[in-house]
Amino acid sequence: MTVEIIGTYATAILLLIGSGFVAVGVIGLLKFNDSMTRLHAPTKVGTVGIGALLLASVAHSMVLGELSMHELLIMAFLFVTAPISANFIAKVNIHLRSCETPPSPPLDDTWATLNAPDDGEDTTQGAKSA
């Protein structure tokens, strides 16, 4: 087998993997009911699918003998911005109360602070009553 044939097979496999992940992301986007569950499918699965499609483009350009780095820049931008935008969309949904709100924290004032409990203070009492 020559390098061109192996590169062509690698490109085809990456295209199949990428399109499969993108299809699962689209089905998840269409199937889920509310915006918070819809957010999960395209951000996780879609990012991997687009990454595989871009890797297929890099592999194809290498088979042709032309090295293309634009796809790697697109992947880097995608992998940096997708989690940040998903986080902002989730925060907006929580603040608009358009989704189920997360449970309240226990009545312990030391769970997310630097306050240390006093020696005789029972910090588990708030968690048991909640």
pLDDT tens digits, one per residue of 42-85: 777 778 888 899 999 999 998 888 888 888 899 889 888 888 88
pTM for the full predicted model: 0.66
What single DSSP character describes residue 80?
Answer: H
Q: Round to whole Å and give the CA distance between 46 and 93.
A: 21
Count of beta carbons in the 10 Å neighbourhood of residue 58: 19
Cβ 71 vs Cβ 33: under 8 Å: no
pLDDT in tens, 14-41: 999 999 998 988 888 888 887 777 777 7
Q: Cα–Cα–Cα angle for 124, 125, 126, nearest 5°? A: 95
Q: How far is 9 from 7, CA to CA, in rounded Å? A: 5
